[in-house]
Amino acid sequence: MRWIKVKDYEELSEKAAEILMKQLESKPDSVIGLATGGTPIGMYRQLVSRFKREEISFARVTAFNLDEYIGLGKEQPESFYSYMEHHFFGHVDIPVASRHIPDGMAENLEGACEAYESSIEASGGIDLQVVGIGQNGHIGFNEPGTSFQSRTHVTELSASTRRANAKYFDVKEMPEQAITMGLQTIMKARSIVLLAYGHEKRDALAQLRTGKITGSFPASCLHEHPNVTVLYGEESEGEG
Ligand code: PGA
């Protein structure tokens, strides 16, 4: 696990965008795993502006998002579908057919999970997966206690996750479940970059640094992966 400390959020976003750009330079038809949440917004902003300056094309990229809330339609602003349109997909040239986000409105959720897993496999597998980390150590929505062997599945959101994400919702509308890639799905990616920024991630990062592998801290599975980069930093003055 390679740890890279950044001085501020701008640097985190630039470095994350550079890792993605390097991946696409070496393999323009890369399969990229993408994350949502507050942390990667700056990375998407960087990628969009590089695309607008014609420094990069995503035309041959295939993208798979980590997760989606169950019960939120595409049109709902809190869905990760809307997030991706707003922050990234709506501004770049990834073909619509090559953008994948789990379907939180599927009638057959189990079938949707299986199909998601199969389409990742059919694409040749994920070359580079971007993940964030929850205060409870989740990656994707793999909450503490999730099996390291898990594939894409339906999960109950933990109280900690619901608290952290409540800022995006009316209390009554905060979903209780999500579809998420599993820990095994994430671990099959050829390389992984974990983004963590801000003081509320300090404890989770300290736990990750211990190197102890335990199911009660899902991100610890990453210690068993040969190619993980952790980009991290804390707020500098005036931020956050
Ligand atoms: P955040 O979410 O980027 O909004 O902090 C990360 C996560 O919970 O995985």
Q: According to the model, what pLDDT value does residue 170 have?
A: 76
Q: What gap in Å lies between CA 194 and CA 201, rounded to an integer?
A: 12
Instruction: Say if pTM beats, i.e. exceeds, 0.85.
Output: yes
Q: What pLDDT, on the 0 to 100 scale, is given for residue 236?
A: 61
Instruction: Tell me what the mean pLDDT of segment 201-223 comes to.
Output: 97
Kindly state the tokens that stand for 37. 């949440």
pLDDT for the residue numbered 91 = 98
Query: With the C-alpha atoms ordered 191, 196, 201, 206, is the resulting torsion angle positive or negative?
Result: positive
Residue 171 has pLDDT above 70, yes or no: no
Q: Separation of 2 CA from ligand 1 center, angstroms?
A: 20
Percent of the chain with pLDDT over 70: 97
- Determine which one of 87, 100, 136, 142 is catalytic: 136
> For residue 92, how far is its CA from the centre of ligand 1 (angstroms)?
23
pLDDT surpasses 70 at 186? yes
pLDDT of residue 211: 97
Longest dimension (CA), the chain: 48
- Beta-bridge partner residues of 178: 69, 155
Give the pLDDT score at 240: 53
Mutate to test the pocket of ligand 1, among 130, 133, 139 (most ligand atoms within 8 A of CB): 133
- What are 52-101's pLDDT values in tens digits? 999 999 999 999 999 999 999 999 999 999 999 999 999 999 999 999 99
Indicate the helix (H) or strand (E) that contains 233. Answer: strand 228-233
Cα of 36 vs centre of ligand 1, distance in Å, is: 7
Told to judge if 136 belongs to the known catalytic residues of this protein, a careful annotator would answer yes
Percent of the chain with pLDDT over 90: 91
Q: What is the pLDDT of residues 128-154, one digit of tens each?
A: 999 999 999 999 999 999 999 999 999
CB 128, CB 186: distance < 8 Å: no
pLDDT, residue 225, reads: 98
Confidence bin at 238 (pLDDT 50/70/90): low
Is residue 129 within 8 Å of residue 192, measured between CB atoms? yes
> How confident is the prediction for the chain on average, in pLDDT?
95
